[in-house]
Amino acid sequence: MTEPRRLRGHKATATCCIASRDRSGVVATAGEDGCICLFDMRCKDAQHIAEVAQEPISSFSFKPGNEDIMYVSCGNAVKCFDLHNMASPWTPFKSYTYNKEEINQISCNSKATFLASTDDGGDVKIIDIRQHCLYKTLRSGHSSICSSVQFIPWRSWEVITGGLDSKLVMWDFSRGRPVKIVDFGLPDIKNGSNGAQCLNPAFVHAIAVPDVDMLDKSDKICVVARGDGIVDVINIESELAVIRSKTSAKARRGSSSTSKDGVPAAGTGTLDENARKRLHLDYSVGGHAAAVSCVTFSLFGEKGKLIISGGNDKSVKVWDCSKYDDAVQTGGNSDVLRLNINLSKKVNWLCTTPTDSENLVVCDTTKVVKVYSVS
């Protein structure tokens, strides 16, 4: 692979990056220097550099449908900015301080009606960004740091979170309760768990859920970046079907309730032994040799066909998501890995762009952001 393009603008480590869906070639990066950098890939230098905080930025997001609005998390606050008034220092037009502890990730739902923020205390705050108020607090799902969160686009009232308690929790946030908990800390005998994979715990560092326009390529899955070096691919609907089947008898007796999307609110717990076989992308198929720090879907080419993961082993892996069903049915994952990119530093975050070239943006543990071309 050719040498990556380098994007300069940060004075400290770049922590995360996002690509515009509305403006082709526009990428934003955030860093420990408390700055946001906006790049137009058609130009050499950063188009804008704005200081938004005196502390590191942990996460940020464009507002779906209106990318002139950006949400940024730093400390225990979520700040709202207007890109039309970008200056340094950049003054927010609104701030939310509902989290009591440091925020790890924020995410907006596709309708731009709710924003979720996860924190070190294990809480998840669901914020109504139209009414500018706290809608719900999700707690007791995680016993440790809640590291990641994503809304499920095809289920209006559901969100998925991951934590450093090795748990993946699917929530009905309208009711404020879990509908499914997957505990990666338990032995997974059915899927051939191997203790030699990695000495690190199976913490959930990041999760990715496909957009609705990706479903014909990716299926209704959740991709999980784990601390033991495994990338797990889980079929959300199959997991929830287990809950439905176990509660159908109770429902006939009138003892079960359902969420707004028809998912039973009862039956939470670790039901892994009854779930559909999941796809484990580990070292045996060319996967990561250390903790996986981030995962995302491809916006380039056939949108959603590829999964990209980055890890502490200083590598980026490109996986062919379209082979998911074949791999699950045959039990063979050998054809799923499409490309391996070796780096010189650990990966903090990555994102993809919808362009044919310069479409993989990687934030490593330096202040210089790298851009690769994947075809």
Question: What residues are paired with 177 via a beta bridge?
Answer: 172
Res. 198 pLDDT band, cuts 50 70 90 = low
How far is C-alpha 348 from the chain's CA centre?
13
Query: Mapped to the 3 state alphabet, what secondary structure does 310-332 carry?
Result: EECCCEEEEEEHHHHHHHHHHCC
pLDDT of 349-358, one tens digit each? 999 999 999 9
pLDDT the model gives residue 205: 98
pLDDT the model gives residue 189: 53
pLDDT of 281-299, one tens digit each? 999 999 999 999 999 999 9
Task: Please check whether residue 206 is in contact with residue 147, taking contact to mean a CB–CB distance below 8 angstroms.
Answer: yes
The residue-averaged pLDDT of 136-153 equals 97
Task: Report the chain's mean pLDDT, rounded to a whole number.
Answer: 88
Residue 30 in this model has a pLDDT that exceeds 90:
yes
Interatomic CA distance for residues 154 and 141, integer angstroms: 22
Which tokens is 265 given?
């609110």
Residue 275 in this model has a pLDDT that exceeds 80:
no
Query: Which domains can be identified in the chain, with CATH numbers?
Result: 98-342 (2.130.10.10)
pTM reported for the whole predicted model: 0.89
Write out the H or E segment, with its range, that includes residue 180: strand 177-183
pLDDT the model gives residue 278: 83
Q: CB 375: neighbour CB atoms within 10 A?
A: 8
pLDDT of 41-83, one tens digit each? 999 889 999 999 999 999 999 999 999 999 999 999 999 999 9
Residue 218 in this model has a pLDDT that exceeds 90:
no
| Residues, the chain | 375
Which tokens is 308 given?
């990209």
CA separation, residue 51 to residues 54, 96, 102, 177, 373 (Å): 8, 18, 19, 37, 29
Interatomic CA distance for residues 208 and 90, integer angstroms: 29
Write out the H or E segment, with its range, that includes residue 94: strand 94-96
